[in-house]
Structure 1
Amino acid sequence: YSMKTIGRTITETDIVNFAGLSGDFNRIHTDAVYAAKDSFGQRVAHGMLVQSIATGLAVQSGIMEGTVLAFRELTCKFSLPIFIGDTVHVVLEVIDKKLFRRLGGGNIVIKYAVMNQDEKAVQRGEWVMLIKSRE
């Protein structure tokens, strides 16, 4: 099973709010003058902000509605920077599953890629989730 989520545009407000929430005020994220002189030439969204948005897009797709018991594990590689104004979506594919009857469900492994508006992967990895059994 595989699917693609809707897109979402990263805003300056997203970055400012995430900096306040996380406490990560690194200047590459929050200081436009500093970031303009850095190798990327502009502010970069926090990698974990984009990871949070990716999980939110997956939830909004409805595939997790009433099924996820626990988010158990994640791996993530940050491949490219994400800038203010970039629009991201997520491509999801279930690549493995294992039943755990005693837990009332089983693990699924979802391979994901966060794609930008140019269809370039900016993040990729795997999520392991415990989901309810149909039985």
Structure 2
Amino acid sequence: MAGLWLEEFNEGQVIHHAITRTVTEADNIFFSTLTMNPQPLHIDRNFAASTEWGKPLVNSLLTLGIMIGISVHETTLGTTIGNLGMSDVKFPAPVYQGDSLRVETEVISARASKSRPEQGIVEFEHRAFKQDGTLIASCRRAALMRSRPKAEAAT
């Protein structure tokens, strides 16, 4: 798997993720309607034009999902047991349809579990930027991670 084992995470490590993603109008409308969010600010171009934004905003939960999703390939793909929680979620600047997102992840902490042998907890801070370098989202995420299997550790 592409994900890292618990032992491969180091406090202060920053991963600049290779995958980027342009958010489309279809993404925004589909996600908003799929999640039962009828906010016209996301799905009605005419309504959004009359707001201070002037055009539809990308649903913030879609932005959060893309940010964390982009990070998975180089952090937790196949090596995570599950998310334990997210905190400090912030959206300091708007995301519009057509913006391209890039993500970086900083390892805040990594430690072995006291109650679960061969597992541990990694706290990440994810940050997403749009094409002009503007920070558009951040959050902290705690994940329960697998330790490197004994057979692999011995080789």
Bin the TM-score by the shorter chain. Answer: over 0.9
Give runs of aligned pairs for residues 11-22 of structure 1, distance below 5 A: 11-22=24-35
Cα deviation code 1:76-117 (max 9, x no counterpart): 111111000000011101111121153231111111111110
Offset of residue 3 of structure 1 = 1.2
Code of the aligned partner of 1:121 = L
Offset of residue 65 of structure 1 = 2.0
Code of the aligned partner of 1:4 = H
Code of the aligned partner of 2:46 = V
Rounded Cα–Cα distance in structure 2 between residues aligned with 1:3 and 1:62: 8
Give the equivalent residue in structure 1 for 2:112. 99
Matched, 1:125 2:139: yes
Give runs of aligned pairs for residues 25-64 of structure 1, distance below 5 A: 25-59=38-72, 61-64=73-76
- Taking only aligned residues, the RMSD between alpha carbons, in angstroms, comes to 1.2
Matched, 1:3 2:22: no
Flag structure 2 segments of 5+ consecutive residues without an equivalent.
1-12, 151-155
Regions of 4+ moved over 2 Å: 101-104
TM-score by length of 2: 0.82
Give runs of aligned pairs for residues 80-91 of structure 1, distance below 5 A: 80-91=93-104
Offset of residue 62 of structure 1 = 3.4
Give the equivalent residue in structure 1 for 2:80. 68
Query: Percent of pairs identical after alignment?
Result: 25
Cα deviation code 1:57-77 (max 9, x no counterpart): 112x33212211111111211
Flag structure 1 segments of 5+ consecutive residues without an equivalent.
none
Give the equivalent residue in structure 2 for 1:78. 91
TM-score by length of 1: 0.93
Higher relative contact order (CA 8 A, sep 6+): 2
Please say which structure displays the higher CA radius of gyration: 2
